[in-house]
């Protein structure tokens, strides 16, 4: 296998392992990785549209709309009319509680996922991935 293919596969394997561990652990606080990620996005951008939130969570607008509907039914998200036909998304108190519980779980899971790397390697890896994704501040 070519080096770049091996690198791409290793990144995908690490992500898959992390997602499985997060999904399993988040179930203990009554949510899923997709739901918790949506709650995080709404928390970061209260009042945002489905289009904005879909982009922030790497989903299609339709997929995000379905997910937001489930979160609304669960009492975690409130949808309100916005400007024009836009629907704004806000967390409810129950949504804030689930988000906070998810943060605690995620901190523990991710610390475990990266535990084999010393702090300096974690910093280096973060910097390299930020350069690859264009999030290095330049």
Evaluate whether residue 26 is within a structural domain.
yes
Query: Which residues neighbour 108 within 8 Å (Cβ) at sequence distance 6 or greater?
Result: 25
Q: Per-residue pLDDT tens for 56-79?
A: 999 999 999 999 999 999 999 999
* Token pair belonging to 137: 């501040």
Residue 9 forms part of a structural domain: no
Number of domains forming the structure of the chain: 1
Q: Is residue 119 domain-resident?
A: no
CA distance 101 to 93: 12
Question: Does pLDDT of 137 surpass 90?
Answer: no
Give dist(CA 95, CA 72) in Å, integer: 9
Residue 122: inside a domain: no
Q: Which of 44, 56, 36 is nearest to 99 (CA)?
A: 36
Q: What dihedral angle (degrees, nearest 10) is formed by the CA atoms of 120, 121, 127, 130?
A: -140
pLDDT on residue 1: 66
95 occurs within a structural domain: yes
Query: 105 or 136: whose pLDDT is higher?
Result: 105
Return the pLDDT at 136: 65
How far is CA 60 from its chain centroid? 14
Domain that holds residue 25: 19-113
The DSSP element (H or E) to which 80 belongs, if any, is strand 77-81
Q: Is residue 120 assigned to a domain? A: no
- On the question of pLDDT at 138 being above 60, the answer is no
CA dist 16 and 113 (Å) reads: 11
36 part of a folded domain: yes
pLDDT in tens, 18-53: 999 999 999 999 999 999 999 999 999 999 999 999
- CATH code where residue 58 lies: 1.10.10.10
Residue 4 lies in a domain: no
Q: Which of 46, 47, 21 is nearest to 32 (CA)?
A: 21
Are residues 24 and 106 in contact, defined by beta-carbon separation less than 8 angstroms?
A: no
Q: pLDDT tens for residues 117-135?
A: 999 999 999 999 999 988 7
Please give the average per-residue pLDDT across 70-89, as a whole number: 93
Q: Positive or negative, the Cα torsion across 32, 33, 39, 43? A: positive
pTM of structure: 0.86
């Amino acid at each position: 296998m070519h080096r770049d293919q091996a690198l791409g596969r290793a990144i995908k394997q690490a992500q898959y392992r992390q997602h499985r561990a997060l999904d399993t652990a988040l179930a203990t606080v009554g949510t899923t990785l997709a739901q918790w990620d949506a709650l995080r996005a709404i928390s970061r951008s209260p009042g945002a549209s489905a289009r904005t939130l879909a982009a922030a969570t790497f989903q299609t607008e339709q997929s995000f709309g379905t997910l937001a509907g489930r979160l609304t039914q669960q009492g975690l998200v409130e949808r309100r009319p916005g400007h024009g036909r836009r629907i704004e998304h806000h967390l409810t108190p129950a949504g804030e509680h689930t988000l906070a519980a998810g943060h605690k779980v995620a901190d523990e899971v991710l610390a475990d996922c990266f535990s084999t790397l010393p702090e300096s390697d974690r910093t280096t890896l973060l910097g390299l991935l930020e350069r690859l994704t264009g999030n290095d501040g330049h």
